[in-house]
Amino acid sequence: MNPRHFLRMSQWARNPPSQRRVKYVFGVIFLVLVIGGIEHFGWWPDWAKTQ
C-alpha cells in the first residue's frame, strides 16, 4: 500500500466522518446500485437511454 493510504487511515481513525456524511455516502451508493439494477433488468425507459 501507498504510505498516503496509511496517513489517510490514521486521519480517519482520529477524526471519523460524521454520521450524516456516512448516511449520505451510503445513500448515493444505494441510488447508483438501484439505477444500475433497473438498467440491467431492462426496466429503464427508452426515452432515457442514449443511442
pLDDT values of the chain reduced to their tens digit, one per residue, 51 residues: 899 999 999 999 999 999 999 999 999 999 999 999 999 998 988 898 887
Q: Residue 2: inside a domain, yes or no?
A: no
pLDDT at residue number 17: 93
The count of domains in the chain is 1
Q: Which three cell numbers stand for residue 31?
A: 441510488
pLDDT at 44: 87
Q: 11 in a domain, yes or no?
A: no
pLDDT score at 51: 77
Residue 8 CA to residue 34 CA, distance in Å, equals 30
Q: Write out the residue range of the structural domain in which residue 37 sits.
A: 18-51
Across 3-12, b (16+ Cβ under 10 Å) vs e yields eeeeeeeeee
What pLDDT does residue 3 have? 94
